[in-house]
C-alpha cells in the first residue's frame, strides 16, 4: 500500500532548490503537474525576486496557458525550439561551421546537404517552418541537432545561458528530445557557472516517438544529476479508473485519489467530499460494429456541458479509423492512399540513383516512366492504377519536374495546430495552402451562422463601404452557406466570385505546382470538408488517442483497434504471458524482438486514454483472445467484462 508524503511536493522541490540540485517532479495523469509548475514559478519569484526563469513547454498552446496564469518580468515562457533558437541565433559564424561539420561527418551525418561550405550561407542561418538548407534555412529537426552540437562544443555558450537564466523549468519533459536533455544535464554541467534545471512530467505519458521518455539514467539512484519528487494524488479520475491505471503503469508510481476538498472541487470528488467510485467496463464482440457498442452504452455522444464542450469522447488510434466514422474518407484517401504518387516515388528514386538517364524540363510523368522502365510493384498499387485509368492518364500528362515534388500524407490533412500568421512563418502548421484556404472559407461561414458578425467581418475579404454593401455581403454569405451538393471546387470559385475569400497567390501557387492534387480535391463534395473541419475543431465526439493527451471528459470510449499500425498492439497490453509464450514457441524472432517495445508503447497510449475519464470509462476490443479476456476480468472485474453479442 503506497503511503502519502507528509511534506507537500512544493516543499520537497524547494528543499532541492536550497541545496542547488536539479529536480524532477513525476506525476501521473490528473495529478495537477501544471498547477505545481505554476506554484513553483510563483515560489521562485517570491523567494528569489532578482532571478530569471525560463519555462519551456512542448506546445504553443501550453505557452499561452502558462502566460495567462503568470505574467512577470523575470519569467520567459517559450517552446523548446524557440528557446534553443534564441540561445544560438546570434552566433552566426559558429552556426555555419556547425552545419558544415555535421553534414560532412560520415559517422554522424545528421544534416543532409551535399558538399556544404561556409560561403554558401552568405545571408546567414535562419530558423523557419520549411527547410531549405541551401539557402541557410533550418527547420525543427536540424535546430535540435545543431544546438546540441554547439552546446557540447562550446562550454562558454552553456555559461552564457546559465548566466541569463538562474532557473530553467521544462514542462512535459518526457516528450522532449534526448538531444535537449543532453544539453541541460550533460553539457551544462561542464561549464563553470551554476543554475538549476527542473523537470515536470510523467514517464508513463511519453507517447511520442521522438521524446526521451524518462530520466532514469540521470535520477539520484543512477547518476545523481536529478532528484525526484513524486506527485501521487490524482484529482481527475474516479477510484475505479485510478485502480485500473495503477495496474497498467509499469514504473512503480502508484496514484491515490486526492482527499483534500479544494475550491473548485476536484472532478473526481462529490459535493460532500467523498471520492467518486466511477464506472469501468471492458466490452468485446465477434463483430467490429461500433454502432452496436454505442447503442449498448446508451451514452449521448452529443451532450454538452455548460460551457458548450462535449461530455463524451470516442478515442481511436489513427485518423484513418476516424475518417470513416466522421465521413471524410475521400479526402483521407487522397492524402493517404494515392498509389499513383507512390508509383511516382518509385520512378523518382530510380532516376535519382541513375543520373545517366536525363530528364528534360519538358518531359512528362509518362516520359519519365518510359525512360526509367519502372513498373508498378503489383498488389495494391497496380489495383489502384487499373481502377483509376483516367486519373493515371491525367497524371502522366504533367511535367515530371513539378509532379515529382508532390508529397501528401495524412498529417497534412489532419494537423490541427492553430497559430496566427506570424507563428505560421516559423513553426505553424503542416496544413498545405489549399487546406488553409478552405479553413478560412469555412471559418467565415461558421462565424456568420453563429451570428459572430464582428469576428466574421475581420476575416472576410469583402470590404464594406456603404449600406448597399452590407446587403450584398449578407446575400453572398448566405448563398455560400448553402453548400448542399456543391463540390470543394464550386465553393472556392463562389467564395472568390463573391469576394468573401479571394483565391490568393498562395492558392494559385498550390494549383500551379500541384494541379493533380487540386483536380482530385476540387471534385470532392464540400460537405466532406465540413466533416473534416468539424472533427479537427473538436465539434465531433471523435478524437485520436494521441490528440486527447492533457484533456478530460465525463465519459470516454476507447476503441482498441490498432488500425493497421504495426507500432502498437493492444493484445500485448492484456497479455497474461500466453501471447509472449506463443511467440517464443513459434520462434517468431522478428515479432519477439519487437514485443517489449510495442507492449510498452501500447501500454502508455492505453494509460493516457483511460485516465481521460472523470466518471465513466468503456473500452471495446474486437474479437479478443481468451488470454485478453482473462486479463480484462482481472482488471475490470468479471461483472464489468461484457460480451455485447449477448445483448
Concatenating the DSSP letter of every residue in 224-246 gives SSBEEEEE-EESSS-HHHHHHHH
pLDDT value of residue 426:
39
pLDDT value of residue 591:
81
Q: From CA 53, how far away is CA 164, in angstroms rounded?
A: 9
When comparing pLDDT for 587 and 369, which is higher?
Answer: 369
Nearest Cα to Cα of residue 429 among 440, 445, 416: 416
pLDDT at 425 over 60: no
Q: From CA 647, how far away is CA 642, in angstroms rounded?
A: 10
pLDDT value of residue 408:
94
pLDDT at 328 over 80: yes
pLDDT value of residue 424:
36
Say which DSSP state 635 is in.
H
Segment 337-354 shows an average pLDDT of 96
Q: From CA 534, how far away is CA 542, in angstroms rounded?
A: 10
Cell numbers at residue 431, please?
496544413
When comparing pLDDT for 283 and 60, which is higher?
Answer: 283
Q: From CA 186, how far away is CA 171, in angstroms rounded?
A: 19
pLDDT at 420 over 90: no
pLDDT value of residue 58:
78
Segment 633-646 shows an average pLDDT of 96
In which band, very low, low, confident or very high, does the pLDDT at 36 lie, cut at 50, 70 and 90?
very high
Segment 12-19 shows an average pLDDT of 96
Is residue 22 within 8 Å of residue 227, measured between CB atoms?
Answer: yes
Nearest Cα to Cα of residue 560 among 248, 290, 213: 290
In which band, very low, low, confident or very high, does the pLDDT at 422 lie, cut at 50, 70 and 90?
very low
In which band, very low, low, confident or very high, does the pLDDT at 174 lie, cut at 50, 70 and 90?
very high
Q: Report cis status (omega within 30 of 0) of the bond before 264.
A: yes
When comparing pLDDT for 200 and 430, which is higher?
Answer: 200
Q: How far is CA 141 from CA 1, 181, 235, 238, 550, in A?
A: 44, 15, 36, 40, 24
Q: How many residues can be counted in the chain?
A: 647
Is residue 208 within 8 Å of residue 176, measured between CB atoms?
Answer: no
Segment 448-467 shows an average pLDDT of 95
Segment 430-439 shows an average pLDDT of 94
Q: From CA 493, how far away is CA 437, in angstroms rounded?
A: 12
Q: From CA 531, how far away is CA 543, in angstroms rounded?
A: 13
Q: Where do we find the cell 554541467?
A: 189
Which residue(s) pair with 296 in the sheet?
none
Say which DSSP state 129 is in.
S
In which band, very low, low, confident or very high, does the pLDDT at 4 lie, cut at 50, 70 and 90?
low
Taking the whole predicted model, whether its pTM rises above 0.75 is answered as: yes
Is residue 524 within 8 Å of residue 491, measured between CB atoms?
Answer: no
In which band, very low, low, confident or very high, does the pLDDT at 421 lie, cut at 50, 70 and 90?
very low
CB-based contacts of 425: which residues, under 8 Å, 6+ apart?
Answer: 128, 129
In which band, very low, low, confident or very high, does the pLDDT at 106 lie, cut at 50, 70 and 90?
low
In which band, very low, low, confident or very high, does the pLDDT at 2 lie, cut at 50, 70 and 90?
low
Kindly report, residue by residue over 197-244, the tens digit of the pLDDT: 999 999 999 988 889 999 999 987 666 899 999 999 999 999 999 999
Q: From CA 107, how far away is CA 99, in angstroms rounded?
A: 15
pLDDT value of residue 430:
81
In which band, very low, low, confident or very high, does the pLDDT at 373 lie, cut at 50, 70 and 90?
very high
| Number of neighbours of residue 105 by Cβ within 10 angstroms | 12
Percent of the chain with pLDDT over 70: 96
Percent of the chain with pLDDT over 90: 78
| Number of neighbours of residue 556 by Cβ within 10 angstroms | 27
Which residue(s) pair with 280 in the sheet?
617
Helix 92-104, helix 140-153: angle, nearest 10: 100
pLDDT at 5 over 80: no
Q: How far is CA 50 from CA 132, 161, 355, in A?
A: 41, 16, 62
Concatenating the DSSP letter of every residue in 315-373 gives EES-HHHHHHHHT-HHHHHHHH--HHHHHHHHHHHHHHH-TTS---TT-BHHHHHHHH-
- Rounded to a whole number, what is the distance in angstroms from the first to the last CA of the chain? 39
Strand order in the sheet with 279-285: 542-544, 312-316, 553-559, 613-622, 279-285, 641-643
Rg (CA), the chain: 27
Q: How far is CA 417 from CA 62, 427, 501, 547, in A?
A: 12, 10, 21, 11
Segment 49-58 shows an average pLDDT of 94
Q: Where do we find the cell 489532419?
A: 414
Kindly report, residue by residue over 573-624, the tens digit of the pLDDT: 999 889 888 888 887 777 888 999 999 999 999 999 999 999 999 999 999 9
Kindly report, residue by residue over 206-217, the tens digit of the pLDDT: 988 889 999 999
pLDDT at 500 over 80: yes
Q: Return the exposure string of 384-417: e unless at least 16 CB atoms fall within 10 Å of the residue's CB, then b.
A: bbeebeebbebbbebbbeebbebebebebbbbee
Nearest Cα to Cα of residue 54 among 169, 139, 152, 188: 169
CB-based contacts of 507: which residues, under 8 Å, 6+ apart?
Answer: 433, 434, 437, 492
Segment 81-89 shows an average pLDDT of 96
Q: From CA 97, how far away is CA 221, in angstroms rounded?
A: 38
Q: How far is CA 467 from CA 363, 463, 470, 477, in A?
A: 54, 11, 5, 16
Q: From CA 43, how far away is CA 198, in angstroms rounded?
A: 13
Q: What is the average pLDDT score of the chain? A: 92
Segment 376-400 shows an average pLDDT of 96
Segment 546-550 shows an average pLDDT of 81
pLDDT at 108 over 80: no
Q: How far is CA 468 from CA 448, 464, 465, 482, in A?
A: 18, 9, 8, 22
Q: From CA 539, how far away is CA 534, in angstroms rounded?
A: 5
Q: How many CA atoms lie within 13 A of 115 on its CB side?
A: 0
CB-based contacts of 378: which residues, under 8 Å, 6+ apart?
Answer: none
Q: Please, what's the largest Cα pairwise distance for the chain? A: 81
In which band, very low, low, confident or very high, does the pLDDT at 178 lie, cut at 50, 70 and 90?
very high
Amino acid at each position: 500500500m503506497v503511503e502519502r508524503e507528509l511534506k507537500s511536493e512544493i516543499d520537497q522541490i524547494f528543499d532541492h532548490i536550497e541545496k542547488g540540485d536539479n529536480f524532477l517532479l513525476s506525476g501521473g495523469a490528473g495529478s495537477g503537474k501544471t498547477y505545481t509548475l505554476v506554484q513553483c514559478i510563483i515560489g521562485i519569484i517570491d523567494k528569489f525576486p532578482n532571478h530569471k526563469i525560463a519555462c519551456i513547454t512542448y506546445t504553443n498552446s501550453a505557452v499561452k496557458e502558462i502566460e495567462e496564469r503568470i505574467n512577470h518580468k523575470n519569467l520567459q515562457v517559450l517552446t523548446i525550439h524557440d528557446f534553443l533558437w534564441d540561445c544560438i541565433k546570434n552566433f552566426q559564424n559558429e552556426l555555419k561551421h556547425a552545419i558544415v561539420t555535421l553534414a560532412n561527418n560520415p559517422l554522424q551525418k545528421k544534416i543532409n546537404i551535399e558538399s556544404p561550405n561556409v560561403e554558401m550561407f552568405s545571408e546567414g542561418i535562419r530558423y523557419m517552418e520549411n527547410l531549405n538548407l541551401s539557402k541557410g534555412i533550418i527547420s525543427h529537426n536540424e535546430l535540435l541537432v545543431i544546438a546540441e552540437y554547439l552546446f557540447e562544443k562550446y562550454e562558454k555558450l552553456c555559461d552564457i545561458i546559465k548566466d541569463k537564466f538562474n532557473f530553467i523549468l521544462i514542462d512535459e519533459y518526457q516528450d522532449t528530445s534526448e538531444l535537449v536533455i543532453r544539453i541541460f544535464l550533460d553539457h551544462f554541467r561542464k561549464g563553470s557557472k551554476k543554475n538549476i534545471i527542473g523537470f515536470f512530467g510523467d514517464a508513463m505519458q511519453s507517447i511520442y516517438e521522438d521524446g526521451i521518455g524518462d530520466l532514469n539514467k540521470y535520477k539520484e539512484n543512477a547518476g545523481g544529476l536529478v532528484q525526484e519528487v513524486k506527485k501521487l494524488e490524482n484529482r481527475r479520475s474516479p477510484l475505479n479508473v485510478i485502480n485500473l491505471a495503477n495496474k497498467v503503469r509499469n514504473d512503480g508510481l502508484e496514484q491515490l485519489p486526492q482527499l483534500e476538498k479544494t475550491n473548485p472541487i476536484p472532478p473526481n470528488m462529490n459535493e460532500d467530499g467523498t471520492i467518486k467510485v466511477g464506472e469501468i467496463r471492458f466490452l468485446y464482440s465477434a463483430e467490429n460494429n461500433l454502432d452496436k457498442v454505442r447503442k449498448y452504452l446508451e451514452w449521448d455522444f452529443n451532450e454538452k456541458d455548460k460551457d458548450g464542450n462535449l461530455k463524451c469522447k470516442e478515442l481511436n488510434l489513427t485518423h484513418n479509423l476516424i475518417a470513416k466514422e466522421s465521413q471524410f474518407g475521400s479526402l483521407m484517401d487522397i492524402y493517404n492512399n494515392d498509389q499513383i504518387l507512390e508509383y511516382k516515388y518509385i520512378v523518382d528514386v530510380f532516376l535519382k540513383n541513375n543520373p545517366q538517364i536525363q530528364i528534360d524540363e519538358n518531359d512528362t510523368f509518362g516520359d519519365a516512366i518510359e525512360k526509367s522502365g519502372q513498373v508498378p510493384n503489383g498488389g495494391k498499387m497496380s489495383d489502384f492504377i487499373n481502377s483509376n485509368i483516367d486519373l493515371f492518364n491525367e497524371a502522366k500528362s504533367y511535367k515530371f519536374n513539378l509532379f515529382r515534388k508532390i508529397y501528401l500524407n495524412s498529417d497534412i490533412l489532419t494537423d490541427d495546430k492553430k497559430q496566427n500568421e506570424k507563428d505560421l512563418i516559423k513553426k505553424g502548421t503542416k496544413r498545405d495552402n489549399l487546406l488553409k484556404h478552405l479553413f478560412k472559407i469555412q471559418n467565415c461561414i461558421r462565424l456568420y451562422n453563429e451570428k459572430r458578425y464582428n469576428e466574421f467581418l475581420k476575416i472576410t475579404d469583402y470590404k464594406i463601404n456603404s449600406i448597399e454593401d452590407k446587403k450584398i455581403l449578407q446575400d453572398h454569405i448566405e448563398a455560400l452557406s448553402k453548400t448542399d451538393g456543391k463540390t470543394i471546387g464550386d465553393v472556392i470559385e463562389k467564395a472568390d466570385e463573391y469576394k468573401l475569400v479571394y483565391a490568393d497567390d498562395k492558392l494559385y501557387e498550390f494549383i500551379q505546382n500541384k494541379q493533380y492534387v487540386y483536380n482530385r480535391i476540387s471534385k470532392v463534395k464540400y460537405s466532406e470538408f465540413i466533416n473534416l473541419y468539424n472533427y479537427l475543431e473538436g465539434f465531433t465526439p471523435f478524437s485520436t488517442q494521441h490528440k486527447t493527451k492533457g484533456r478530460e471528459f465525463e465519459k470516454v470510449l476507447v476503441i482498441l483497434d490498432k488500425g493497421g499500425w504495426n507500432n502498437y498492439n493492444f493484445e500485448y497490453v492484456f497479455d497474461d504471458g500466453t501471447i509472449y509464450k506463443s511467440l517464443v514457441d513459434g520462434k517468431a524472432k522478428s515479432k519477439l524482438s519487437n514485443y517489449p517495445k510495442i507492449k510498452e508503447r501500447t501500454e502508455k497510449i492505453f494509460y493516457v486514454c483511460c485516465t481521460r475519464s472523470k466518471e465513466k470509462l468503456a473500452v471495446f476490443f474486437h474479437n479478443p483472445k481468451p488470454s485478453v479476456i482473462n486479463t480484462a476480468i482481472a482488471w475490470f472485474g468479471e461483472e464489468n467484462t461484457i460480451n455485447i453479442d449477448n445483448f
